[in-house]
Amino acid sequence: MDRVDLGYGGGVESPLRLAGNVVVLDEEKFVFEAMLDGWADQQASRGLQAITIERRRQFIQRFTDYCSAYPWRWEPRDLEDYTSRARSGSAPLSRSTLRSYQLTVRWFCDFITDPRYGWQAECVTRFGLAPQQICHEWNTFSHLLDYEGTPARRALTFDELERFFEAADARVETIVRAGKKGALSALRDAQMFKTIYAFGLRRAECIWLDVPDLRSNPSATRFGSFGALYVRHGKGTRGTGPKRRTVLTLPEFDWVIEGLTQWVDLGRPRLLDDWETSVLWPTERRTRVSPRYLNVRFAELRDEAGLPVEITPHALRHSYVTNLIEWGYSEKFVQDQVGHAYASTTAIYTSVGDDFKNRVLAEALQRNTGGQ
């Protein structure tokens, strides 16, 4: 396919790839699809993941449908109207979600208004209108806070952690006593949540674990085959792909080894039957546990334990970070364990308890005033 010079702008090439004698029936749709294809190529050239590119493309398509207009007809008020509506109603979108949508629109508009790509000249020639940037400092969210999550979402206290894991273990025992099916699944669920807490994992990091990801640590031989956890699906940044890291088993969490051993050696083989797979958390239907399933099961156990409804599975990771700081681990070590690129992110996760703060205060008083 050849690029076509339409003769405008001093010989600027058209950004469209046209094939021979093709007749375009819907010219506006044709141009819009070509814009999206060009933007996808640009992002792929930057090394972004295919799934990230596709999600952005789908949102631009949804936003276009909402505006009932193609990008060369967009105005700033279209973004403002979309944002206002998304923040209202029975299920308003969060500030961080809306900011990500606004950024997607901004990046797309940056692409189609960049003269190097020729889209403005193309649209003027075809439709008499040029695309414009509709995202500005006066109509988009500013990133003023490091953390914008719901304040009620926090680390769990030791008492709350104990109640949660007791509820998980009790479910296994209840099913066994009743002689019903589901005991192996309940055992798997309990061990999944204990593993998330004991290694400070994100939800997806836990779900995508395979048995070979459980590894020994030559510096901690007493932990056997469970001295470290190799995370292959760590959270990436801006579509760069998963980040890998090794999380060491810590002595404060050595209790997790017994449960992992029981699951890997006894529970998992019985659940698998004759299915050959390396998946650490398989289902009865021979699939990998899904994020939605993990959320639903966590919510059920949370409610059984009488914990606040705002608590999510991510609270276990928050608890891990907080506990490590309270136990005296260095911030750099904690940062590496949980896979944060910046120490400031680790600090956001930390919400040490009053006992820890009072202990630090007492030590400071002892050093400076002799305990007075």
3-class SS at 251? Answer: helix
Predicted confidence band at 178 (pLDDT cuts at 50, 70, 90)? confident
Tell me the residue type at 250. L
With b for 16 or more beta-carbon neighbours within 10 A and e for fewer, the 266-281 pattern comes to ebbeebeeeeeeebbb
Contacts 24+ apart (CB under 8 A), 119-124: 119/15, 119/35, 119/38, 121/8, 121/9, 121/12, 122/6, 122/14, 122/15, 122/16, 122/31, 123/31, 123/72, 124/8
Tell me the residue type at 68. S
Helix, strand, coil % (nearest 5) of the chain?
55, 5, 35
- Highest-confidence segment of 90-99, 209-218, 332-341: 209-218
The Cα 107–Cα 93 span in angstroms is: 20
Residue length of the chain: 372
Tokens of 345: 């992110």
pLDDT at 16: 73
Q: How many CB atoms lie within 10 A of CB 157?
A: 14
Please state the rounded mean pLDDT for residues 231-255: 83
pLDDT at 91: 85
The model's pTM is 0.64
Is 302 within 8 Å of 295 (Cβ atoms)? Answer: no
Tokens of 204: 């997806």
Please state the rounded mean pLDDT for residues 241-264: 91
Contacts of 288 (CB under 8 A, 6+ apart): 207, 208, 279, 281, 282
Angle between helices 255-262 and 183-199 (to 10 degrees): 150
Predicted confidence band at 127 (pLDDT cuts at 50, 70, 90)? very high
The Cα 332–Cα 342 span in angstroms is: 9
Burial class (CB in 10 A: 0-12, 13-18, 19+), 120: buried
Nearest to 230 by CA among 265, 206, 252: 206
* Extents of the domains making up the chain: 2-127, 158-313
Name the class of domain 158-313.
mainly alpha
Predicted confidence (pLDDT) at residue 363 exceeds the cutoff of 80: no
The Cα 246–Cα 312 span in angstroms is: 24
pLDDT at 146: 45
Beta strand 228-234 with 214-215 is antiparallel
Nearest to 237 by CA among 52, 96, 94, 40: 52
Q: Which residue has the tokens 């506990």?
A: 323
Predicted confidence band at 361 (pLDDT cuts at 50, 70, 90)? low
Higher pLDDT among residues 50 and 355, named by residue: 50
pLDDT at 2: 40
Residues 137-151: tens digit of each pLDDT: 999 987 544 444 555
Predicted confidence (pLDDT) at residue 348 exceeds the cutoff of 60: no
Please state the rounded mean pLDDT for residues 349-372: 56
**DSSP states of 60-82:** HHHHHHHHTS-GGG--HHHHHHH
Predicted confidence (pLDDT) at residue 356 exceeds the cutoff of 90: no
Predicted confidence (pLDDT) at residue 362 exceeds the cutoff of 90: no
Percent of the chain beyond pLDDT 90?
60
Nearest to 152 by CA among 40, 347, 309: 309
Q: In sequence order, what are the beta bridge partners of 246?
A: 230
